[in-house]
Amino acid sequence: MTATTDGSPGTPTHRTPSASSTSEPDPVPSGGPEVAAQRAVQRAADHLLARQSPEGWWKGDLETNVTMDAEDLMLRQFLGITDAKVIAASARWIRSQQREDGAWPTFHGGPGDVSATVEAYVALRLAGDAPDEAHMQLAAKWARAEGGVAASRVFTRIWLALFGWWSWDDLPELPPEIIYLPKWMPLNIYSFGCWARQTIVPLTVVGAHRPVRPAPFGIDELHVDPSVPNPRQRKAPITTWDGVFQRVDQLLHLYRRFSPRPLRRTAMNACARWIIERQEADGCWGGIQPPAVYSVIALHLLGYDLDHPVLRAGLESLDRFAVWPEDDVRMIEACQSPVWDTCLAAIALADAGLAPDHPALVKAAEWMLDEQITRPGDWSVQRPQLAPGGWAFEFHNDNYPDIDDTAEVVLALRRVAHPDPARLDSAIDRAVRWNIGMQSKNGAWGAFDADNTSPFPNRLPFCDFGEVIDPPSADVTAHVVEMMAALGLEHDQHTRRGIDWLLSEQEDNGAWFGRWGVNYIYGTGSVVPALAAAGLPASHPAIRRAVAWLESVQNADGGWGEDLRSYSDSEWIGRGHSTASQTAWALLALLAAGERDNDAVTRGVRWLVDTQMEDGSWDEPYFTGTGFPRDFSINYHLYRMVFPLTALGRYVRAEPFGTAGHAMAEKGA
């Protein structure tokens, strides 16, 4: 789990495989690469089965970057709830992620990031690291060379303002009165993606209060000479959208001075009600850490005591984001992914040959059925007449089911022989109706909302970090199309519109952009199987172009890899160290395209076999998941298991679409 301090890549090692197996996949003929692949499948299936929880779910660690850990420590300092063991363990994790040049990256092997470095430095100061220690001097020097605190993102400077290290006057303004804007107006809260609105609403309260809890030290060593211009403060021409919104921000600062106090108090109380109404059963908000952190701060500023049931539950939920890879090391997950991990694990095991009525699959299906969401959430603002029926990503998140999880859960459930088929079929019917109802006007699907495509939220100076809208993406749309095809609905008008959109989105090089995975390999690995499952022949020009592109970017070692920098630098497209998950995505596309005997497939399979570890897993320090392109990256620790097992299972069983088609035939669909 721990990256090297210089960010250098880890080297996968090949160890002698174990011969034991309890998963008993179907046998394959002897001879050729199939035999070695079959052994790899057996080891991987055994490893994955052993990781299933007694309740039926799987969950791998969700690793991001040290800003999660730094902000957790700053929150505890702000609220006065520090714990020596937690501080020391978090500081050890933060130090372990520092590069040799003193900076902190946002993904393994990536370049230093000034915001992450500033936040990590401040957190270590809070943990007791002295500014004259070598690693701290290196960090401060690197940060100053990159522009210092002034060059950091808005969210970083908000945290610094909480302790008096930055002026609230020098931060963009977003008033709590935004809560009153009707949904037809630009910049209403529902024009933001769900993750952004959950963060912005509490932050408007924080910004309205402008609290300062003076810190026990200064951070002058992170600032550059004030005479040096800060590029973030330069105004764009008023003839541009950026220039317009910069001047709108000036007006909002002026409005703050003259806003009617009763209106502001009422708006903040409305924000508090909005926040509390969206608290989940486990005390969290949306199942993700940032909205939970800011919601706790906002409600506390509004007078909620830390012992109030709402805040007590919120703080307890934050503790559940902590992972302890060692007894004295603590890492904070930005989110937890049990539904996503469970459906992908079930698909992998079924496609590897596990019997549809195997207890592990039945138990997983039972748990997933219990997790289906049957009440409206924020998505119903745009679809008020649509009946619920989706699944969320996390353990407890009834407000924000997502289209992607729902499609993959359906694909998983179709592979299971559940003892109550009527219950399973009813759940699938609800899910399919909900997913169809969430289709956007252009025929594609976003992740959480329909038609969440306003161009304005990303223009706000306040929103300088990550995506704040949720437009349709090729990977999500592909998964819905694949789901529809598995249900025999490939000719449905909704499916055909999705296919048409996917074909129109193919890049000139033959690949598809990956919104939620890195990057073009993920997009292509999602789209090609969907198009093929929906009936496009392997000879279709779009599929041939995709195959040619995948062949062209295969690494010399036989694997595939793509660095996260491909989101901002075209030189990195399809380029990067080979990883187990990205190699599997490429193989899934090639197998679906009818390329099982292709030399590229043979070499890719061999790479997976040769890099498998003795326990049946793969080593994957590189981040292949995407939160926000260019800004927030994820290492899903179960990706290194579920996707290679799926690809190898389909290869050895010569089933390019897995077992979803068998399940459909058995149920008479």
| pLDDT score of 136 | 98
Structure-token match 């926000």, residue found: 628
Fold that domain 63-216+233-332 belongs to in CATH: Glycosyltransferase (1.50.10)
Structure-token match 């005997």, residue found: 597
CA atoms within 13 A on the CB side of 32: 13
| Residues 298-347 pLDDT 10s | 999 999 999 999 999 999 999 999 999 999 999 999 999 999 999 999 99
Task: Tell me: pLDDT of 594 over 70.
Answer: yes
| pLDDT score of 466 | 73
| Residues 578-589 pLDDT 10s | 999 999 999 999
Structure-token match 């389909």, residue found: 650
| pLDDT score of 659 | 78
Question: Across the strands, what pairs with 626?
Answer: 633
Task: Tell me: pLDDT of 12 over 60.
Answer: no
What mean pLDDT do residues 1-9 have? 36
Q: DSSP 3-state assignment of 518?
A: coil
Number of C-beta neighbours around residue 530 at 10 A: 30
- What DSSP letter does each residue of 495-563 carry, written as one string? HHHHHHHHHHT--TTS----SSBSSHHHHHHHHHHHHHHTT--TTSHHHHHHHHHHHHT--TTS-----
Per-residue pLDDT band for 556 (boundaries 50, 70, 90) equals very high
Q: Cα 77 to chain center, whole Å?
A: 27
- Domains 33-57+347-358+413-443+472-666 and 63-216+233-332 equal at CATH topology level: yes
Q: DSSP 3-state assignment of 252?
A: helix
Task: Tell me: pLDDT of 16 over 70.
Answer: no
CA distance 182 to 242: 24
What mean pLDDT do residues 163-186 have? 93
Task: Tell me: pLDDT of 667 over 60.
Answer: no
User: The domain 33-57+347-358+413-443+472-666: what is its CATH number?
Assistant: 1.50.10.20
| pLDDT score of 636 | 97
Q: Looking at 15-19, 20-24, 127-131, which range is the least confident one?
A: 15-19
Please give the biggest Cα pair distance in the chain: 80
Task: Tell me: pLDDT of 15 over 70.
Answer: no
295 within 8 A of 285, measured Cβ to Cβ: yes
Domain ranges of the chain: 33-57+347-358+413-443+472-666, 63-216+233-332
CA distance 612 to 580: 9
| pLDDT score of 383 | 96
| pLDDT score of 230 | 54
| pLDDT score of 200 | 93
* 319/8: higher pLDDT: 319
What mean pLDDT do residues 9-23 have? 33
| Residues 118-157 pLDDT 10s | 999 999 999 999 999 999 999 999 999 999 999 999 999 9
Task: Tell me: pLDDT of 297 over 80.
Answer: yes
What mean pLDDT do residues 248-269 have? 87
The catalytic site residues sit at 404
Q: Cα 565 to chain center, whole Å?
A: 16
**Opening angle at CA 565, ends 455 and 639, nearest 5:** 95
Number of C-beta neighbours around residue 408 at 10 A: 23
519 within 8 A of 564, measured Cβ to Cβ: yes
Query: Between helices 84-96 and 114-126, what is the axis angle to 10°?
Result: 150
Question: Across the strands, what pairs with 323?
Answer: 331
Across the beta sheet with 625-628, the strand order is: 62-63, 632-636, 625-628
449 within 8 A of 193, measured Cβ to Cβ: yes
**Opening angle at CA 28, ends 588 and 649, nearest 5:** 25
What mean pLDDT do residues 546-558 have? 98
CA distance 205 to 175: 8
Structure-token match 């969700």, residue found: 62
Helix, strand, coil percentages in the chain from 3-state DSSP, rounded to 5 = 50, 5, 45
| pLDDT score of 226 | 61
| pLDDT score of 246 | 74
| Residues 223-247 pLDDT 10s | 986 655 555 566 777 777 677 767 7
| Residues 484-533 pLDDT 10s | 999 999 999 999 999 999 999 999 999 999 999 999 999 999 999 999 99
647 within 8 A of 582, measured Cβ to Cβ: no
